[in-house]
Chains A and B, each alone.
Chain A
Amino acid sequence: MKRRAVLAAGATVAGSVVAGATVGATRGATTGDDPEPRPPSPAAETTVETGAVRPGTRRETPYFEVGSDDSGPTAVVVGGVHGNEVSGYRAAERIAEWEVTDGSVVVVPWANVVAVRRNEREGPDGDLNRQFSIGGEPETPLARSLWELVAAADPDVVVDLHRSRGIYGTHGRWVGQALFPTAAGGATSDADAVADRVNEAVVPASMWAHRFRRGNTLGGTSPLLIHKVSADLDTAGVLVELTEFYLDVDTQVRWTELIAERLLSRHGIERRGSAI
């Protein structure tokens, strides 16, 4: 598959940087408000390959491939597109620690690593999730590199992890507690099924406003990563939005990770030791 070539190339250029400078830091807890990226500690039995997006630059950020073999389905999970959305990149860090029994997952935990380090929504080039022009090249080098990685992985599903302030349909313009699927790849039914499953599993009945729902379908009308996945790759993708309203960061991370797990499971990518 294409992804192996991409990973090998990336690892050659930046593997030592990632393994030494970034991965060598502290481990353990993967939640909290500290904006510093925390390198994952993959399960011992899992094959992990690493590489980097924008190697050799200030925006260099690692990615991890966790998987069982080459033959199964592939997913791409992206966190940290917005640097202040802590639960998204903390959940991605945890996903990079999974032991995957079927298929493989390419995880980019800190897509906009400068913004993550600054704990700001936007990086030096502005809002990364408004730079994925539909039908053409993304607007900035970082967006282009990220898109090249996504496209080269030839994914069966792409999951983009975010966090919002309020709740979709309850708090004006906020979009939390919603899964926004692509028009392509049957993602709408995935979003419905996963929302139902996660509501049943972890959202208390008395937290009625926090029940997950499917948001509107993303079909390529805006320059967002998942819009581009739908329009340019014709592949399933889901933009996951958790709310910070009333939810502690640990809960946001747990629920985000669970949603990713169920979404990937719908595409045949199974995690050993499911959270449900």
Chain B
Amino acid sequence: MTTAGDDVTSESDGGPGADRDAAIADRDDAIADRGAAIADRDDAIADRGTWWTVVAGPGVVCLFSLLTVPLVLGTLDARLHSPLAAPGYALFVALTVVGERVVPQFAFRLYWPPFLLCSYGVAVAGAGVGRACLRGSDRLRGAARE
């Protein structure tokens, strides 16, 4: 029987205090495990976010649209060709100039799929460079603050 003055936390007597300690330790372990699981999940989410940003983030979508949409409008009617089409136009012309030397009989309309693919590649690369520049400037700002 436990009486007032007994040391219930004493490990030496193996009483109810020791059981509670063990229960607390178990609970702490469980919390730690759950925390680790949450951290893992957060890492996974962060990884997925980074991967998604690289291949289809807002920067990629914007750059891809900038390269393709104005050019498509221009090819529907030259009166819809705007200066915004200049980058896509330059890429399209460059592709056909190279392509003409490699496969002279390739019809120009067949250059659209490679053009879209190249535009996507340029958009991914451009967005990556943009993100790297932003990270670099953030780091510089942080260093300047310290």
Tell me the A residues contacting B by CB distance below 8 Å.
165-166, 170-174, 202, 204-207, 209, 244-248, 250-251
Q: A166 with B77: in contact, given A206-B83, A206-B89, A207-B89 (CB under 8 Å)?
A: no
Q: Is the interface of B mostly helix, strand, loop or mixed?
A: helix
Residues of B within 8 A of A165 (CB): 107-108
Contact A245 B96 (CB under 8 A): yes
Residues of A within 8 A of B85 (CB): 206
Cα-based distance from A244 to B101 in the complex (angstroms)? 18
Residues of B within 8 A of A209 (CB): 89, 93
Contact A248 B81 (CB under 8 A): no
Residues of B within 8 A of A247 (CB): 75, 78
| 8 nearest A-B residue pairs (beta carbon) | A251-B78, A206-B86, A172-B100, A206-B83, A171-B100, A209-B93, A245-B108, A204-B81
Q: Which of B83-113 contact A (CB under 8 A)?
A: 83, 85-86, 89, 92-93, 96-97, 100-101, 104, 107-108
State which size class the interface on B falls in.
20 to 34
Residues of A within 8 A of B83 (CB): 204-206
Residues of B within 8 A of A251 (CB): 77-79
Contact B96 A166 (CB under 8 A): yes
A-B contacts, 13 of them at CB < 8 A, read: A165-B107, A170-B93, A171-B96, A204-B82, A206-B85, A209-B89, A245-B96, A245-B108, A247-B78, A248-B77, A251-B77, A251-B78, A251-B79
Query: 12 more A-B contacts (CB under 8 A) besides A166-B100, A246-B74, A248-B75?
Result: A170-B97, A171-B97, A204-B78, A204-B82, A204-B83, A205-B83, A206-B89, A209-B89, A244-B108, A246-B75, A246-B108, A248-B78
Residues of A within 8 A of B78 (CB): 202, 204, 207, 247-248, 251
Residues of B within 8 A of A204 (CB): 78, 81-83
Cα-based distance from A170 to B78 in the complex (angstroms)? 19
Contact A250 B104 (CB under 8 A): no
Residues of B within 8 A of A173 (CB): 104
CB distance from B93 to the nearest CB of A (A): 5
CB distance from A242 to the nearest CB of B (A): 11
Cα-based distance from A204 to B82 in the complex (angstroms)? 8
Residues of B within 8 A of A174 (CB): 100
